Amino acid sequence: MKKIVSMFLVVAMLLGITSSIGAEEIFDDTLTESSGFVILSVKDAVDQDNGIALCGMYFSYGTSRIVNRGNYYVAVEGVTYATRDYYDFLSAKVFIEQFRNGVWQPYDSHVKTTGNKLTVAMSYMEAVPSGYYYRCRTIHCVRHNGTVESGASMTGGIWIGK
């Protein structure tokens, strides 16, 4: 029974979650990695272009990207794609997460919202401490007539160090 419940939760996260909630409840950060797996890389950039595919009637998919820009800077980007360009609200909340003490921990986040657009992109560059792995995780949301469809995408981790 435990396996069935776990499988259901994983499928729900991959397919996105649809509900009728207000905009103030969208960013409760409940869309997190729960399986405990860790993907680490020594590459300079990691993409997750297929983080979410065909999630719903309003929300098409979302992507995340992280790049090592050198001198202890990372650039991150999250993009949310809607199925049409006339929805009330689109958002991309982008998190930089640091792998510390065996778990991914929030380091920084920014959000961008818009309406009546097909996409919304949030990107920024941040100085980070060396000696850690970092990844980008994005929560994607689209709202239309009170219905919110959302999902999450994330990259693997990249090493920032000497």
Tens digit of each residue's pLDDT (9 = 90 or more) over 64-79: 999 999 999 999 999 9
User: What is the average per-residue pLDDT within 28-42?
Assistant: 41
Taking 80 as the threshold, does the pLDDT of residue 10 lie above it? no
Instruction: Supply the pLDDT for residue 85.
Output: 85
Confidence of residue 6 (pLDDT cuts 50, 70, 90): very low
Tokens 């719903």 belong to which residue?
56
Instruction: Supply the pLDDT for residue 8.
Output: 36
Tokens representing 68 are 């090592």
Distance CA 150, CA 117 (A): 16
Confidence of residue 21 (pLDDT cuts 50, 70, 90): very low
Q: Give me the residue spans of the domains in the chain.
A: 2-160
DSSP state of 155: -
Confidence of residue 162 (pLDDT cuts 50, 70, 90): confident
Tens digit of each residue's pLDDT (9 = 90 or more) over 128-160: 999 999 999 999 999 999 999 999 999 999 999
Taking 50 as the threshold, does the pLDDT of residue 53 lie above it? no
pTM above 0.85, yes or no: no
What contacts 24+ positions apart, CB below 8 Å, involve 65-69?
Answer: 65/136, 65/155, 66/96, 66/134, 66/135, 66/136, 66/155, 66/158, 67/158, 68/44, 68/158, 68/159, 68/160, 69/125
Give, in words, the CATH class of 2-160. Answer: mainly beta
Tens digit of each residue's pLDDT (9 = 90 or more) over 76-125: 999 999 998 889 999 999 999 999 999 999 999 999 999 999 999 999 99
Confidence of residue 47 (pLDDT cuts 50, 70, 90): low
| Element at 62 (helix H, strand E) | strand 59-70
Instruction: Supply the pLDDT for residue 18.
Output: 34
